[in-house]
Amino acid sequence: MAGITYEIDDKMIVEQIKSDAANAAAELVEVAHLKKGDIVVIGCSTSETLGNQVGSHSVPEVGKAIYEGLQNVFGAHGIYIAAQCCEHLNRAIIIEQEAVPNVDIVNVVPQPKAGGSFATACYANFKAPVAVEHIKANAGIDIGGTLIGMHLKEVAVPVRLKQNHIGKAFLIAARTRPKFIGGERAHYDESLKDGYR
């Protein structure tokens, strides 16, 4: 049913999901060598975090908890969250305007059933949220199989995190690195092998 959202009675589940999100963010910052000004794209199914099929059980309270868990870590490092909306908004991105000052914005406000509960929470909590159709993020976290690859820089490298679930949703993370070009005669900057400066 398109207009229905759900609530959770067990607040411990929500707190555990928030903690899982923070743990995953902290691991990704370290493994991907993220720094101030970097962008991390997040695809999130709150339905999957509760053991339901993607798109079937949107829970705003869980979307907000995931946002808070991630933001507590990423915000402390000056890293921007880019919230990928669901397929109903063509996987548009909700992001702080200062992170993408010269990108063309589009006009849409996400809702739990058209954009997703996580993107809705980001839109409600960012200082100056905008929607854009495309970005090239430095890293990403896919919570529940939402397919974030279209919003990563071209050379994405899978990252296995110890925190491989948020709630009941499987988590896949990625970092990116610059392309190696030039063939056998080329010399490379070894400091870029694991990511961007």
pLDDT, one tens digit for every residue, the chain (197 residues): 345 555 566 789 999 999 999 999 999 999 999 999 999 999 999 989 988 766 667 789 999 999 999 999 999 999 999 999 998 899 999 999 999 999 999 999 999 989 999 999 999 999 999 999 999 999 999 999 999 999 999 999 999 999 999 999 999 999 999 998 887 788 888 888 777 76
Query: What is the set of domains in the chain, with CATH numbers?
Result: 30-177 (3.40.50.10360)
Distance, CA of 194 to CA of 163 (rounded, Å): 21
Asked if residue 26 lies in contact with residue 73, where contact means CB atoms within 8 angstroms, the answer is yes
Distance, CA of 165 to CA of 184 (rounded, Å): 40
Instruction: Determine if the pTM surpasses 0.75.
Output: yes
Centre a 10 Å sphere on the Cβ of residue 130 and count the other Cβ atoms it contains.
21
pLDDT at 55: 60
Q: How far is CA 22 from CA 37, 89, 116, in A?
A: 19, 26, 20
Side chain identity at 84, as an amino acid letter?
Q
For tokens 């090239």, the residue is 136
Asked if residue 17 lies in contact with residue 62, where contact means CB atoms within 8 angstroms, the answer is yes
Q: How far is CA 135 from CA 40, 52, 70, 168, 186, in A?
A: 10, 29, 19, 28, 29
Distance, CA of 18 to CA of 65 (rounded, Å): 5
DSSP 8-class letter at 115: B
pLDDT at 4: 53
Q: How many helices (H) and strands (E) does the chain have?
A: 4, 9
Asked if residue 144 lies in contact with residue 48, where contact means CB atoms within 8 angstroms, the answer is yes
Distance, CA of 85 to CA of 118 (rounded, Å): 8
Distance, CA of 55 to CA of 125 (rounded, Å): 22
